[in-house]
Structure 1
Amino acid sequence: MRAVLLTGFGGPERLVYREDVPDPRAAAGEVRVRVGAAGLNNTDLWTRQGAYGSAGDPSATTGWRREPLRFPRIQGADVAGRIDQVGPGVTADRIGQRVLVDPMLYHGGERELVTTDYLGSERDGGFAELVTVPAELAHPVRSPLSDAELATFPTAYTTALRMLGRAGLAEGETVVVTGASGGVGSALVQLARARGARVVAVAGAGKHKAVRELGAEAVVDRAAPDLAAALADALGGREAEVVADVVAGPSFSALLGVLAPLGRYVVAGGIAGPVVQTDLRTVYLRQLQLIGSSFGTHADFARLLAHIEAGELRPLLAGSYPLAELATAQAEFERKNFFGKLVVLPGEHRTGA
Structure 2
Amino acid sequence: MATPDDPLSGPLPDTMRAVVLTAHGGPEVLEVRDVPRPVPGPGEVLVRVGAAALNNTDVWTREGDYGRPGPPAGWRGPIAFPRIQGGDVAGTVVAHGEGVGPELVGSRVLLDPAVYDSERPDALPVDILGSERDGGYAEYVVVPAVRAHAVGDSPLTDAELASLPIAYGTALGMVERGGVAAGHTVVVTGASGGVGLAAVQLATYRGASVVAVSSTGKIDAVRSAGADHVVDRRAGDVVEAVRAVAPHGVDAVIDVVAGPTLVAGLDLLRDGGRWVVAGALDGHTVPLDVRSLYLRNLVLVGSTMHTPALFEQLVEIARAGAVRPVVAATYALAEAARAQVELAERRHVGKLVLEPHQR
Answer yes or no: same fold by TM over 0.5.
yes
CA contact (8 A) 1:252 1:277 kept: no
Question: Is 1:135 aligned to 2:145, yes or no?
Answer: yes
Counterpart residue number, 1:273 = 283
Question: Is 1:310 aligned to 2:324, yes or no?
Answer: no
Structure 1 outlier segments of 4+, above 6 Å: none
Evaluate the alpha carbon distance shift between residue 224 and residue 287 of structure 1 in structure 2; reply closer, same or farther with a 3 A threshold.
Answer: farther
- Given candidates 68, 72, 86, the residue that maps to 1:76 is 86
RMSD: 1.7
Question: Is 1:226 aligned to 2:240, yes or no?
Answer: no
Using the aligned pairs only, state the percent identity. Answer: 54
**SS of 2:83 mapped into structure 1:** coil
Question: Is 1:345 aligned to 2:355, yes or no?
Answer: yes
AA aligned to 2:137 is F
| Distance across 1 between alignment mates of 2:285 and 2:21 | 27
Question: Is 1:6 aligned to 2:21, yes or no?
Answer: yes
Evaluate the alpha carbon distance shift between residue 214 and residue 11 of structure 1 in structure 2; reply closer, same or farther with a 3 A threshold.
Answer: same
CA contact (8 A) 2:86 2:137 kept: yes
Counterpart residue number, 1:187 = 198
| Distance across 2 between alignment mates of 1:160 and 1:150 | 15
Question: Is 1:150 aligned to 2:161, yes or no?
Answer: yes
TM-score, with structure 1 as normaliser:
0.92
AA aligned to 1:241 is D
C-alpha deviation, 1:302, in angstroms: 1.1
TM-score, with structure 2 as normaliser:
0.90
* Count, aligned residues: 342
Stretch of structure 1 that moved more, 214-223 or 24-33: 214-223
**SS of 2:124 mapped into structure 1:** helix
Post-superposition Cα deviations, 1:49-82, rounded to whole Å, max 9, x if no partner, equal: 222244xx3x6532212x2112211110111111
CA contact (8 A) 1:228 1:257 kept: no
Question: Is 1:286 aligned to 2:296, yes or no?
Answer: yes
Post-superposition Cα deviations, 1:124-164, rounded to whole Å, max 9, x if no partner, equal: 00001110000111111121322112111111111111111
CA contact (8 A) 1:52 1:60 kept: no
Post-superposition Cα deviations, 1:256-299, rounded to whole Å, max 9, x if no partner, equal: 23112222110111223323334444333333211001111111
| Distance across 1 between alignment mates of 2:243 and 2:72 | 38
Post-superposition Cα deviations, 1:211-243, rounded to whole Å, max 9, x if no partner, equal: 2222211110121321121111121x1111111
C-alpha deviation, 1:112, in angstroms: 4.4
Counterpart residue number, 1:85 = 95
**SS of 2:202 mapped into structure 1:** helix
Stretch of structure 1 that moved more, 97-106 or 44-53: 44-53
CA contact (8 A) 2:85 2:136 kept: yes
Counterpart residue number, 2:37 = 23
CA contact (8 A) 2:121 2:308 kept: no
AA aligned to 1:152 is S
CA contact (8 A) 1:245 1:268 kept: yes
AA aligned to 2:26 is G
AA aligned to 2:57 is T
Question: Is 1:172 aligned to 2:178, yes or no?
Answer: no
| Distance across 1 between alignment mates of 2:79 and 2:30 | 15
- Given candidates 96, 100, 112, the residue that maps to 2:106 is 96
**SS of 1:220 mapped into structure 2:** strand
**SS of 2:160 mapped into structure 1:** helix
| Distance across 1 between alignment mates of 2:332 and 2:31 | 14
Counterpart residue number, 1:245 = 255
Counterpart residue number, 2:12 = none
CA contact (8 A) 2:213 2:232 kept: yes
Evaluate the alpha carbon distance shift between residue 35 and residue 248 of structure 1 in structure 2; reply closer, same or farther with a 3 A threshold.
Answer: same
Counterpart residue number, 2:57 = 43
Unmatched 5+ stretches in structure 1: none
C-alpha deviation, 1:110, in angstroms: 6.7
CA contact (8 A) 1:53 1:62 kept: no
